Structure 1
């Protein structure tokens, strides 16, 4: 299927420019992808052009997106090719990425253990976690993946067994799920208390299909479901993903790209809710590039996050911008000190 993401248009993004806010704030970009696809390329050169745009980005975390799978060999081991490919692309770029979230099919249950071992070996110390494709919705208008998964993967006994194997290896589990699936995420966090569960993209608040982003009942349904997840101490939240089409904003349709003041005003209710529920010590900002780059530039995105964090003290800001992510993924914190 065609990509559901907005096309990246560098000439359009260049129409809006801003000075860097708080240029001395260290940043760990806790979620980005890399790929080389017919619809566009985003490899080390493109990533480094973005992280070098003015903010003090010290390191990044790569998250699986079906890049560079092996073309042969045992099917369950083909995702190891993604780790191999990304490492090959990024030789010579220290800390970009400093860690990786890889793919291992947790429907294998306990049989996923040798796959995890192969990923860890291939990653040369950088594989920190696992993510599967799990975001599902009955309405075809709600789609954030070129190949949507079937319903119910998070609910299976096999997935639970696979998640226990992830925890036993000392890895974390990233989960991209829509607001309608958060009860499944809560149940997983409860059933596998030794597993660190990292909820991606604010827990998937929806603004398309049957979901009206501006309807109070839709916002409350997301908030209440996310609160149930946040009640478990083994959960974390990534704040970002607002450029995803399923969130419902259509900045890409405007003649000019958005500025950070407008973005901060638009996103504040969701960001403030995530912070209220998880606190800065269990929350982290993410770029979700190049997915979100179809709607906002890297420079302006991080300016918006800095505006949203401005009311916090220095310790809380550091938690959001780098410390929480570094702790969660076991990254050397010395990277982020002067």
Structure 2
């Protein structure tokens, strides 16, 4: 790999629906990763409304509860690997059940748990937010789960920034995202939260620089130690990154 200090940790994919056979695939990826392979992400995003699901409309329903999937999932912890979970907020309860069934497997809840504001949830933010928040508070009780703070610039959240004549400022994004980010930090604590970019999907609404300026605004109320956790330490610990 030479001297380039990039990709210090790799999160890849294995189809866990192959059950016990996932172990051999995971071992091959560990070997190919040359010391950098840290875990996988197997998307479980699904919704009954195609205007929510879009590209995930044909994915299996209830995959996290599937017994064959769970046999594949059981291969992760013995190999020291983590699981990144991408889903929509109505599915957080399924992930909570999985986390309780496998307390020794490190699980990363991506994109603040995928709060939805499109399709059947459009125009219902006041109703949907408390449901999402209750699910976040419940899954935060699982000590093996951490959360990534980001992915909120996707159109999934239901804001119309991509339709406005000018891209949003970091001030506007901070105001829109604050309830979600602060709920996650309050529930999990800074040591179990990490800011994330979600490029290229996020660039439909704003630039990479604006996203991180937004994160800086959202983090301004926290202590230096808490900021370090949010921007660096949690990710280092979770993905076992040997970086400065």
The correspondence of residues 314-333 of structure 1 with structure 2, limited to 5 A, is 314-332=224-242
Residue 163 (1) aligns with residue 81 (2)? no
Measure, in 2, the Cα distance between the counterparts of 1:94 and 1:280.
30
Residue 248 (1) aligns with residue 158 (2)? yes
Is this contact kept in 1: 2:50–2:57, CA < 8 A?
Answer: no
Look up the match of 2:86.
176
Deviation at 1:217, TM superposition (A): 2.2
Against the structure 1 CA distance between its residues 318 and 154, is the aligned structure 2 distance closer, same or farther, given a 3 Å change threshold?
Answer: same
The correspondence of residues 223-238 of structure 1 with structure 2, limited to 5 A, is 223-238=133-148
The correspondence of residues 286-301 of structure 1 with structure 2, limited to 5 A, is 286-301=196-211
Q: What secondary structure does 1:141 align onto?
A: helix
Measure, in 2, the Cα distance between the counterparts of 1:214 and 1:268.
18
Q: For structure 2, which runs of at least 5 residues remain unmatched after alignment?
A: none
Deviation at 1:95, TM superposition (A): 3.1
Residue 261 (1) aligns with residue 196 (2)? no
Which 4+ stretches in 1 moved above 6 angstroms?
none
Against the structure 1 CA distance between its residues 118 and 147, is the aligned structure 2 distance closer, same or farther, given a 3 Å change threshold?
Answer: farther
Residue 98 (1) aligns with residue 8 (2)? yes
Is this contact kept in 1: 2:86–2:111, CA < 8 A?
Answer: yes
Measure, in 2, the Cα distance between the counterparts of 1:297 and 1:269.
21
Deviation at 1:96, TM superposition (A): 2.6
Deviation at 1:213, TM superposition (A): 5.8
2:17 is aligned, of 99, 107, 115, to 107
The correspondence of residues 91-240 of structure 1 with structure 2, limited to 5 A, is 94-143=4-53, 145=55, 148-212=58-122, 215-240=125-150
| Of 95-104 and 201-210, the range deviating more from structure 2 | 95-104
Deviation at 1:225, TM superposition (A): 1.0
Measure, in 2, the Cα distance between the counterparts of 1:111 and 1:214.
43
Q: What secondary structure does 2:119 align onto?
A: coil
1:284 is aligned, of 181, 189, 194, to 194
Is this contact kept in 2: 1:104–1:115, CA < 8 A?
Answer: yes
Look up the match of 1:77.
none
Is this contact kept in 1: 2:46–2:57, CA < 8 A?
Answer: no
Normalising by structure 1, we get a TM-score of: 0.70
Q: RCO greater where, 1 or 2, for CA within 8 Å and sep 6 or more? A: 1
Measure, in 1, the Cα distance between the counterparts of 2:6 and 2:133.
33
| Per-residue deviation, residues 140-176 of structure 1 (Å, max 9, x unmatched) | 0003646741212111011211111011110000000
Count of residues in correspondence between the two structures: 244
Q: CA RMSD, aligned part only?
A: 1.5
Normalising by structure 2, we get a TM-score of: 0.95
Q: For structure 1, which runs of at least 5 residues remain unmatched after alignment?
A: 1-90
Is this contact kept in 2: 1:144–1:246, CA < 8 A?
Answer: no
